[in-house]
Structures are given as structure tokens and as C-alpha cells.
A and B are shown apart, each in its own frame.
Chain A
Amino acid sequence: MTIAISATGLTKQYGRSKAVTDLTFEVAQGEIVGFLGPNGAGKTTTLRMLAGLVRPSAGTCSVLGASVPGPTLRRVGTMIEEPSFYPYLTGRDNLRHAALLHGDVPATRIDEALEFVLMQDAANKKVRAYSQGMRQRLALARALLWRPQVLLLDEPTNGLDPTGIAEFREALRAVAQSGATVLVSSHILAEVEKFVDRVLAIDKGNLRFDGTLSALLDRMGDQQVSYTVRAADSAVLRTALGDLGYAFTPRGADGADVLVPRERADDLVSDLTQRGVKVLAAAAHGDDLEAAYLKLVNPSGRPT
């Protein structure tokens, strides 16, 4: 197994406060790893250290076998925090600038990257006229320009609408299929759970969990997923929910809010249908990782 990203005892201290404490982990080549943690957990600082932008106070990190900062960063694509561009340049010119700066990007690659993120039509507009979603997509195109072997993505779906998030997820899947290593941070578990192989969970600068998603779900154990369900006949719906043994709260004339054990969450609609419920709508509410964290680090469920 070749290691693409490695951090050993990584620590970053600002004055008296430690943003990251003694962080040690590895990411194998070709792996897609979710880097999870609530806001302020130290995710961005860690990614900045891996990208060579911030010097660690202690510890070391390496990318593609060489310590950072160093020339291997030229084989890394990044999206760190809000995507930034030169607003007076067009989308295409921003990519051209990045390509020139990199020095080893064929001219044809710019159009390929724009096509990949579905931005050909807006490529000749000034970036200052772009929406948040367009900026995110252009940032992904820039990160992919030199066909990076490693992608460091910091909350890449922030500010995107549900369609944008779905498109972004598809794009990342396609990138992952090309064999690139991806470390993607998020504070929303639902955002990354559909495509990551493994999860690193961090809180207050400390690594709390390093393992597969299923291992994380096992740790979360009794975690329940909240659904809002609407049915043609509310009486039948409530009877069925009672039969299934799920706690629920009636919502409006035809619906109910229901808590479903995580392992049964995907089967809710089929379970209800089998019991004669004509389901009109069923929507799961995103399980915010901050809530999951309270379970992960503090079994009582109370904030510490």
C-alpha cells in the first residue's frame, strides 16, 4: 500500500491556543477519505498544513512521499475554504493563469476541465458575475487542471444548492475513479457518507476517530435518522409506524415526524408500503455531524 498523505504528530499552535494537537494519520493512494469535524475543529488548519500554506508548530506531514512544502505539491489540487479568483478575469482566463503558473498544463486541458464541471457556456464571463455554485465548480476545474494525484478539498459543497451538491458529488466520484487520492473535509456527515471509503473525525484539534464509515456508524450505535413522512391516509401511516415500533410525532393532517434507527433508515419507505401505506413523500433530515459528535465523544449526549 502506497501512502499518499501522511501526518505525524502534527500540531499547530496560535499563541496559547492549539488549533491542531498531535495529529497522526495516513491516507493510502487512491483512497477517498472524509475529514469530519464540527466548525472550528481544526480541519482547515490541517489541510492548510498539508498544502504547505501553514507551518506546523510541531510534527511533520508529507504528500506523495515528500515533505511539504515542496515540489510534490504541484501534483496536488486544492479547494481550501471559499473559492477565490481574480474577479476581473474571466473563468477561462483564471484557469489559464493557473495553468501558466503551474507550467506543465497543456492548453487543451483548460477546455476539458471546463467541460468536466459543465462550465463551458459561462467560461468567458468575468468571475465577478459568477454565482456561488459557479465559483465552486470553477474551483474544482482549477483543482483538476494538472490531473492531480491528490485532492485536498475543504468543505467543497458549502453554499451549494441540493442540485449543486449532487452534481459535485458525481464529479468527485468521477475524479476518484481516475485513481486520485481525495481528502475531503466536511462538518456534515451526510455530505460525504455516500462516497468516502474511510473517515477521520477530529474535534478540538484532536483525532477522535479513524476508520471506515461502517465502523463509525457502529460507534454511533443508537443513532437515529429523523424523517418527515406524508401519506395519503394519515391513520394508516400512524398505525404502521406504531407497528414498526418507531417513535413519531403527528405533523399536519397527513404526515408525521419519525425517528428511525440508522440501520433501518434506508428501508423505511418499503416497510411502510408493505404495511399498506401510500407514501406521498419521505424526507430524511441531514444528520449534522456536530450532533453525532456529542455521541461519539461524550456518551451522555450533553455538550462538554
Chain B
Amino acid sequence: MSPLLAVIRAETFKVLRKRRLYVLAGLYWVLLPVLALIVARVLNTTLASSFANEGGNIDQTLQLFASPIGLARLALTGPAYTSPTLYIVAVTLIAALLIGDERSQNMWKTVLVVQPSRVAVMTGKVIVALGSIAALMAGAAVAGFIFGAIGTTFLPTHFGGNWLELAGLYGLQALQLLAPILLAFLLITLVKSGVLGVVMVLFLPSLIETIYTIINTISQVQPLNRINAVFQAIKLQAVWQELPKYFFTANLYAPGRKPATSWLKELGVGEEFEPLQNLLGNGLPLTHSALVMAGYALIFGVLLYWWFLRRDID
């Protein structure tokens, strides 16, 4: 058997025996659609025959959020808006299991003798991490569909919708999670502590982006201060203003957050309502976000493999 396949089988075996992942999956797959169905039921009971449903407003809203496609879409978008996002929580949990445990349980010395190909070991772990997250997301989509189907029996909803586009968004969101997986693996390997690595994955990108926001705010304050003077002097103000387009978190959740902007349109909220648009998403094109995340994945991946292949196992 090829070393890579052996690692994938072994790590999948390990992941399937970790109970906390089933708890996470249970919450993700059941809680969100059940809550949505309860709210939809209440809305339908109280407002379906009221003036608010003139022109079918309530029915449209229910189709948007509580239909099979609505719930499947909610399972993609909802986790991208929690804080920290459910996606990054899943990434850290799986990274802690696949990489953190090797460190904390002192297992590298066993793993790397049983399977001495370090490239195969690390690649297998990355594939299993990505596969686990993709499975979590696919399960959420299926659960959304099933609960939505149940909802059609007592709500004015149907099975219609652009399923192909939704499948594409799911796929792209799952692929874009490769970058945080590699970041988590890298940080846990670098700091040699599972806990510290996990904490850093959760907060480091947002911390860096918050620091940017603070500096950016100060640099725009008039009159001239030292910070904006520096930026004006080095003529990088334009580049500096463009930076948020390349932020890790802004791009990471772009596919997951995309349906939110569509919802606004369908709910009649125009593009002129900028504060809400900004709140829900930054409108970055998906191609752009995919390229940016591929760049992050490349950088983190190169650093991870470079470090892992040459390090001593102490």
C-alpha cells in the first residue's frame, strides 16, 4: 500500500473515533435547521394570513430560509457569521486532533518510524483534515435538505432553487478552508503546543486585521500625524487602502457569505443600503477570494513542509 493511502486510512480511523467531532456535527447538522424551522413555523402561523403576507412576502421569506434549498444555504452561510466562525472552530478541532495530539501525546516518535515518509504523513493529515471538514459541510447540506423537506409538509415551501450554484459555493468554501488548515498545522508545529497553536489560529488573523484597522483609522485623522505622514511620504497610501481586499478572513468566508447579499436583494434591500451590505459581506468576487486564499495556502504550505521535513523529533 502506498504510504499516502496508509496515512489517510489511519488518520481517518482516528478522526472517526473522536467523540467531540460528533458533538460538533450534531450541533451543526441539527440545531441550525431545527431553530430555523421553529422560527418559520411561528412566522407562518402568526403572519401567513395577515396583511404582511400581501403579495406573498412571508411565503417568499419562508422559501428563502426554511425551504430545502433555504436550509441547505443557511447551513453554508450561518457558520460563516458566528464568532468565531464554526468553520474555524472545526478547523482548529481537527488540527488539534491530527497535529496537536501528536505533539501533546508525544506520538511523532512513533508515527514517523511506522511511516517514515514525512511528506506522506503531512499530506495524508492535510487531506484527512480537509476531507473531514468537507464531510461536515456535506452533512450539513444534506441535513438542511432533509429538514427542509420535512418543512414542506407544514410550510408553504418547495424544493426549487439553484442547487448547482449552491453546490459550487459549498465546494469553493471547503477548498478555501485549506489555507486555515495549513495555517493551523503550521502554527501548532512551530509553537510546539497544540493549545497555543489553536488559540493563535482563532485569533491571529483577526488580531492582525484589527491592528490594520486601528492604524488605518489613525492615518486618516486630520491634521497630519506621524503615521499618515509616513504613508504619504512613502506614497503607499493607495496600496495601504487596498490591503483589506487581501485580508485572510475577508476572503476566507467569501463563498459562504455570498448568499447573504443575494438574500438582501430578494428581501428588497438595495445596494444603496451600504451599512447592511458591509455588515454581511464585502462584496469581493469569488474568483478574487479563491486566488487570494490559494496564495495564502501556498505560503503556509511551503512553510509547513519546509519546517516539518527538517525538524528533529525531540
Inside 8 A of B9's CB, which chain A residues have their CB? 100, 103
| B310 contacts the other chain (CB 8 A) | yes
Inside 8 A of A62's CB, which chain B residues have their CB? none
| A144 contacts the other chain (CB 8 A) | no
| B154 contacts the other chain (CB 8 A) | no
- Interface size class on chain B is 20 to 34
CB distance from B305 to the nearest CB of A (A): 15
Of the listed residues A55, A78, A89, A97, the one surrounded by the most CB atoms of chain B closer than 10 A to its CB is A97
Q: Which of B75-83, B107-115, B266-274 contacts A (4 or more CB under 8 A)?
A: B107-115
- Contact: B110 with A100, CB < 8 Å? no
Q: A71–B115 Cα gap in the complex (Å)?
A: 8
CB distance from B213 to the nearest CB of A (A): 40
CB distance from B125 to the nearest CB of A (A): 11
297-314 of chain B: CB within 8 A of chain A: 310, 312-314
| A80 contacts the other chain (CB 8 A) | yes
- Contact A103 B3, CB 8 Å, known A54-B313, A74-B116, A86-B101: yes
Inside 8 A of A89's CB, which chain B residues have their CB? 14, 17
Of all chain A residues, the one with the shortest Cβ separation from B117 is A71
| B105 contacts the other chain (CB 8 A) | yes
| B6 contacts the other chain (CB 8 A) | yes
- Contact: A53 with B109, CB < 8 Å? yes
Inside 8 A of B118's CB, which chain A residues have their CB? 69
- Contact: B113 with A86, CB < 8 Å? no
Total of A-B residue pairs, C-beta within 8 Å? 87
- Report whether over half of chain A's contact residues are helix, strand or loop; otherwise say mixed: loop
Of all chain A residues, the one with the shortest Cβ separation from B5 is A103
Of all chain A residues, the one with the shortest Cβ separation from B116 is A73
Partner of B114, one of A70, A80, A102: A102
Partner of B115, one of A55, A74, A80, A86: A74
- Contact A98 B17, CB 8 Å, known A86-B105, A103-B1: no
CB distance from A168 to the nearest CB of B (A): 19
Of the listed residues A69, A86, A93, A101, the one surrounded by the most CB atoms of chain B closer than 10 A to its CB is A101
Q: A69–B111 Cα gap in the complex (Å)?
A: 13
| B13 contacts the other chain (CB 8 A) | yes
- Contact: A84 with B107, CB < 8 Å? yes
Q: Per-residue 0/1 for A61-84: is the Cβ within 8 Å of any B Cβ (1 yes, 0 no)? A: 000000011110110101011101
Inside 8 A of A103's CB, which chain B residues have their CB? 1-3, 5-6, 9, 115
Partner of B113, one of A53, A85, A93, A104: A53
| B7 contacts the other chain (CB 8 A) | yes
- Contact A100 B10, CB 8 Å, known A55-B310, A69-B116, A73-B113: yes
| B106 contacts the other chain (CB 8 A) | yes
- Contact: B101 with A78, CB < 8 Å? no
Inside 8 A of B106's CB, which chain A residues have their CB? 81-82, 84
| B192 contacts the other chain (CB 8 A) | no
| A52 contacts the other chain (CB 8 A) | yes
- Contact: B17 with A88, CB < 8 Å? yes
| A51 contacts the other chain (CB 8 A) | yes
Inside 8 A of A70's CB, which chain B residues have their CB? 116
92-138 of chain B: CB within 8 A of chain A: 101, 105-118
Inside 8 A of A100's CB, which chain B residues have their CB? 6, 9-10, 13
CB distance from A109 to the nearest CB of B (A): 14
CB distance from A156 to the nearest CB of B (A): 14
**18 A/B residue pairs, CB under 8 Å, sorted by A:** A48-B313, A52-B112, A53-B109, A53-B113, A55-B312, A69-B118, A70-B116, A78-B113, A80-B109, A81-B106, A85-B105, A86-B105, A86-B107, A93-B17, A100-B6, A100-B10, A101-B7, A101-B114
